[in-house]
């Protein structure tokens, strides 16, 4: 499927083209929003809102490449997921004190661990930690971008990431013991 | 990004339906009506804006034109007796002297018998607006207005005593109407100069004398204010 042509049809309001775009990205986007929301129903809601927004915004979208288009769509899905997360759950972001170390820590994930196991580990994190971890490690956002997206300070973002890693490490160790 | 973080990202990105399965068939069913709804909602919003704009424009036009309409309606007063006199005038375009002479003598007590070319008539405060000639209008009334458009209303100001003088149109004589009117007024004034005529006795004490020249009352009317000594 030529994504550029399909997008042009979408701009004209072609329902089949919209369905084709939906079929192409829906599963990826559902998994993506699920990583943030940790709830299937919320993930579906986020995807619905994201797709509605994508089809609406496509009218003014300038296609450059498939990767750029997918990144743009993913950003919308992430934003919608965060929106739902903010709406339904309370973040408990806590900044670290100055004495706390902020150097990079290894979680201790081994190479033979599957993606599903890693996903389960991430899902066990609290909402705030999970959101920052996802944004930083998987989406590749900077702390500045995360701070802006979550309406927190950069320091808080860094501390949330550090705590998330610490918690993942702890959970992983417990899992190994079990 | 550390190697471990890179490793996590690769593993997560590589997740497939076998790892996390989502049934997205129902999701499209939920999304489709929403897309149509957003389209119709957009149309509704457009229509609402259009209606609001129309309403605002309509109201502004209404309020802008309302005072003008009112004025127009007040001005829409038919001159009733202009026509009838015109016929008399055409039949007998007698010189002005004749009429001037009549009140000069004993006939002063019977001013209503005047039927000459120059007709002097009186309106007083009891007259309604429909019977009044419109005196202060501009060129708007040049077209005949049907009596249906006439709106009677209570006169809020004190009506002036007005005398209308219809002057004949004599095409052959090529008379200058303005000079004719001026001469007529001079003669009217002369009644009072030597106490030969008492306007009050005649019951036509005019404050303003208007001359009807030709067919158009408005365009050819000249207002000549009577001097103060006549007003007395």
Asked if residue B225 has pLDDT above 50, the reply is yes
Q: What are B113-170's pLDDT values in tens digits?
A: 444 444 444 444 444 444 444 444 434 444 454 555 565 555 554 445 555 666 666 6
Residue percentage of chain B with pLDDT more than 70: 25
Which position has the token pair 């055409």? B90
* B157 CB neighbour count, 10 Å cutoff: 5
* pLDDT tens, position by position, B58-93: 998 888 877 655 544 444 445 544 444 444 444 455
Q: Model-level pTM greater than 0.95? A: no
B23 touches chain A (CB under 8 A): no
In chain A, positions 7-26, which contact chain B (CB-CB < 8 Å)?
13, 15, 18-19, 22-23, 26
**Sequence-ordered list of residues with C-beta below 8 angstroms from that of A153, at least 6 positions apart, any chain:** A95, A147
Residue of B9, B20, B35 with shortest CB distance to A31: B20
Q: Using an 8 Å Cβ cutoff, are B210 and B164 in contact?
A: yes
Beta carbon pairs, A and B, within 8 Å: 84
Q: Using an 8 Å CB-CB cutoff, list chain A residues near B39.
A: 13
**Which band of pLDDT confidence, cut at 50, 70 and 90, is reported for residue A40?**
confident
- Tens-place pLDDT, residues A89-120: 665 555 555 555 555 667 767 777 777 888 88
- Alpha-carbon distance of B197 to B220, in angstroms, equals 28
Cα-based torsion angle of the residue sequence A160, A162, A166, A171 in order, rounded to the nearest 10 degrees: 50
CA separation for the pair B225, B209 (Å, rounded): 7
Q: Does B33 touch chain A (CB under 8 A)?
A: no
**Which 3 state secondary structure label does DSSP give B143?**
coil
* Residues of chain A found within 8 Å of residue B3, distances taken between Cβ atoms: none
ipTM above 0.90, yes or no: no
């Amino acid at each position: 499927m030529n994504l550029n042509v399909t997008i042009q049809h979408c701009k004209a309001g072609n329902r089949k083209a919209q369905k084709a775009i939906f079929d192409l990205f829906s599963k990826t986007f559902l998994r993506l929003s699920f990583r943030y929301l940790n709830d299937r129903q919320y993930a579906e809601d986020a995807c619905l809102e994201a797709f509605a927004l994508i089809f609406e915004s496509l009218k003014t979208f300038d296609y450059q490449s498939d990767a750029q288009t997918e990144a743009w769509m993913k950003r919308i899905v992430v934003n919608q997921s965060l929106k739902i997360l903010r709406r339904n759950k309370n973040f408990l972001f806590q900044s670290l004190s100055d004495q706390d170390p902020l150097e990079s820590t290894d979680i201790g994930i081994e190479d033979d661990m599957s993606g599903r196991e890693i996903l389960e580990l991430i899902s066990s994190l609290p909402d705030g930690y999970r959101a920052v971890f996802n944004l930083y490690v998987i989406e590749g956002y900077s702390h500045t971008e995360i701070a802006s997206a979550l309406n927190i300070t950069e320091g808080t973002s860094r501390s949330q990431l550090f705590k998330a890693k610490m918690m993942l490490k702890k959970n992983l160790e417990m899992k190994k013991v079990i | 990004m550390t190697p471990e973080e890179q490793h996590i990202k690769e593993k997560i990105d590589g997740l497939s339906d076998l790892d996390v399965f989502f049934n997205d068939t129902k999701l499209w069913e939920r999304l489709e009506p929403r897309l149509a709804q957003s389209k119709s909602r957009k149309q509704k919003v457009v229509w609402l804006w259009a209606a609001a704009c129309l309403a605002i424009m309509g109201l502004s036009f209404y309020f802008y034109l309302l005072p003008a309409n009112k004025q127009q309606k007040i001005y829409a007063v038919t001159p009733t007796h202009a026509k009838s006199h015109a016929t008399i005038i055409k039949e007998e375009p007698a010189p002005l002297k004749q009429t001037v002479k009549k009140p000069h003598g004993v006939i002063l007590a019977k001013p209503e018998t005047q039927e000459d070319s120059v007709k002097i008539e009186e309106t007083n405060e009891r007259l309604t607006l429909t019977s009044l000639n419109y005196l202060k209008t501009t060129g708007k009334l040049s077209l005949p207005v049907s009596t249906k458009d006439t709106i009677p209303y209570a006169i809020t100001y004190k009506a002036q005593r007005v005398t209308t003088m219809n002057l004949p149109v004599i095409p052959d004589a090529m008379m200058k109407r303005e000079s004719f009117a001026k001469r007529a007024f001079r003669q009217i004034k002369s009644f009072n100069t030597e106490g030969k005529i008492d306007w009050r006795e005649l019951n036509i004490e005019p404050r303003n004398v208007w001359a009807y020249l030709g067919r158009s009352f408005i365009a050819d009317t000249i207002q000549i204010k009577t001097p103060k000594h006549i007003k007395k």
